Chains A and B, each alone.
Chain A
Amino acid sequence: MNCEEIKIGLHNFVDELSDSFMKREIEVHLRTCDKCFNEYKKLKNFFDKLKDLTNTIEPPEGIIQAFSSKLLERSIKDDLKEKIVSDPEKIKQEQINLERSIRESSSAMRKSILSMTLMATGVSKSLPIRSRLNWSKIILILLPLVLLGVAYIVYDLQKNNSPWKIKTAEGRILINGKDNNTGTISEGESLLSSDSSKTEILIPRVGSIVVYQNSIIILKKAKDGDNRIRLERGSVKIKNVSEEPDFAIDLKNSYVIDRGGEYTVSVDEFENAKISVSFGFTEINYNNESYFLSEKYVCDIMTGKKPGTPYCSDAPDTLIQEIKNFDYNNGGDNSIDNIISTARKSDMLTLLAIIPRASQIKRETLFQTITNHFPPPENVTRMDILRADKKMLHIWWEEIKEQLKSISDRK
């Protein structure tokens, strides 16, 4: 062996990679070559110094405290995660454990080999841990997703706001068929009010529901952003303080979405519903179609029919009768003529609602009549309306709604 080979050999030796034959060769060479012996001394000195570097860096104070509080923060999440871990996840974890257990531990502190005698024998081998790391990578990729999922579930659970408080109760009410002692109603429970009762239920962060006599409601969902009751019978009045559509009332074939404001919903013994808005507006959803109902307007929904044409709450009886004719008695063009002739300025939203169901000729007349009171906004054209374009009709509807509101506010 020449000096250059010895140099490599020395490194192999400290790495426990040389066999006993090699070791003997090195030993013999070192005894006769001052230059290489010098190299060996330097290498030994280097490893002695490296040994001093073990765990020498002073960690800053506060890491343990920071971790303690982090642990506390996460403990709730951990508990939840435990519960939602799905089976495939578990199987995967077991696989990882298995791989890990196969792995031989070879990474313990290495003793400074050079301080041992050159004749020392024994070569330690370590198994590859490639597979383990591939799993680690997969986990690293999946981890943010899992954490995100857990965070979402925690966030979602936090939105549950059941039970709701019952603020005042005149007369008698039954919660789930029993006298109410707790002063609350929880998700899934029903409320039945007697002849002379009036009850106010507080919807957290939304507002309140006044339940009038002889009503049955069921609290279907008590969750921020998705509060929902079912009105089986009787009437309720919603007073809303939130502008988000985060409260809905289920009816037989439709539901009423709260859009802020105040409105009453009633269901009679034949399951006909009536929605009447005092201020603000609401949205009625029937077969995934939206019907908007503005302030001071009423909408009747006959059982099994789609929502009727909305009318002003103080509309003359003749107008209301004609709307019924149009809606349910095939009143047709004749009814439309009568409606147009009796409609006042405040009834224009009724005319607008008729447009999609009117013939082309009547659409023209309706358009002219409404325009006389409320010209359409700039981007809404006559053609849009004659085509009964939903979006354009809605834009005009909003414009008229706002103008009517400012007129009534001035009064």
Chain B
Amino acid sequence: MTVDNTNYVEYLIELSKEGRKRSFIDLCEINLRNVYTVAYRLLSDADEAQKVTLHTFVKSWEKIKEYNGKILFSIWMKNTAIEYSISMLNHRDAVYAERKRPIKISSGQEFLESHILSLPKDDRIIIILHDIEGYSYEEIRIFFEDLEIDEIKSKLINTREYLINKISV
């Protein structure tokens, strides 16, 4: 696919690569919602989502010179957020109370959102990445060492069926 960062974003990226912090902060502002949303949805915890967002910005600043325009900048940043969120999820211990600090969501789809947030970890990661964030099965497979693509697929279909039943009632 072709990459179409807006001219303004391209301009900010160039300045950031030259070390202009202000420009990079502008880029973060543009992508804040993008990054925070996926982090919150994966972690269902406001504090952890904030931590992931900050971490993502810091890492992106450190690696900004490596960004080569092959993928959209917003996706480049989001990849970092997803990697970190999943590693946090994987390091949560069994007793970790899911949804430690939920936040109020006003998308008009609160019902669907609340069901997504309360899905089991793996099912949630799969549906968020595939159906909301647009990642392919192969890309999702990276995060699941013990799952084959077919298993991910069938998990996703089951999750969809489950959610469709919930919202159709």
Contact = CB atoms under 8 A, between A and B. Distances in A.
B109 A53 contact: yes
Q: Determine the interface band of chain A, counting residues with CB < 8 A from chain B.
A: 35 or more
Contacts of A182: none
Nearest to A54: B132
Contacts of A392: none
A57 B143 CA distance: 24
Interface stretch (A125-133, A230-238, A284-292, A366-374): A125-133
B142 A130 contact: yes
A331 B70 CA distance: 86
B164 A57 contact: no
B136 A126 contact: yes
B139 A52 contact: no
Interface of B is mostly: helix
Nearest to B32: A59
A100 interface: yes
Nearest to A140: B87
A26 to B, nearest CB: 15
Interface in A80-111: 93, 96-97, 100-101, 103-110
Residue from the set B103, B142, B163 with the largest chain A CB neighbour count within 10 Å = B142
Contacts of B28: 64, 67
A71 B54 CA distance: 10
B167 A46 contact: yes
A105 B75 contact: yes
A108 B134 CA distance: 6
Given A42-B164, A58-B103, A67-B58, A107 B139 contact: yes
B3 interface: yes
A56 B142 CA distance: 26
A70 B54 contact: yes
Interface in B96-144: 103, 105-109, 112-113, 116, 130-139, 141-143
Interface string A1-21: 000000010010001000000
A93 B40 CA distance: 30
A136 B167 CA distance: 38
Contacts of B57: 67, 71
B136 A93 contact: no
A129 B21 contact: no
Contacts of A130: 138, 141-142
A96 to B, nearest CB: 7
A355 to B, nearest CB: 59
Nearest to A127: B138
B103 A107 contact: no
A57 B36 contact: yes
A348 B67 CA distance: 74
B1 A105 contact: yes
Contact of A106 (B33, B36, B136): B136
B83 interface: yes
Nearest to B59: A143
Nearest to A39: B164
A60 interface: yes
B68 A63 contact: no
B1 A106 contact: yes
Contacts of A345: none
A66 interface: yes
B68 to A, nearest CB: 5
Interface string B73-86: 00100010001000
B160 interface: yes
Contacts of A53: 41, 107, 109, 112-113, 116, 132
Contacts of B87: 140
A382 B50 CA distance: 68
Given A71-B21, A105-B75, A63 B50 contact: yes
Given A46-B164, A126-B136, A103 B75 contact: no
A130 B145 CA distance: 11
A71 B137 CA distance: 35
B109 A49 contact: yes
B135 A101 contact: no
A205 interface: no
A78 B36 contact: no
A11 B157 contact: yes
16 contacts: A8-B157, A46-B160, A54-B37, A56-B109, A58-B33, A59-B32, A59-B33, A59-B49, A63-B50, A63-B54, A101-B68, A104-B70, A108-B75, A109-B133, A129-B142, A133-B143
List of 3 A-B pairs having minimum Cβ-Cβ separation, nearest first: A105-B71, A56-B107, A110-B134
Given A43-B160, A107-B139, A126-B139, 20 more contacts: A15-B137, A42-B164, A45-B167, A46-B163, A46-B167, A53-B109, A53-B112, A57-B37, A67-B25, A67-B54, A68-B25, A75-B21, A100-B66, A105-B70, A105-B75, A108-B71, A108-B72, A130-B141, A130-B142, A133-B83
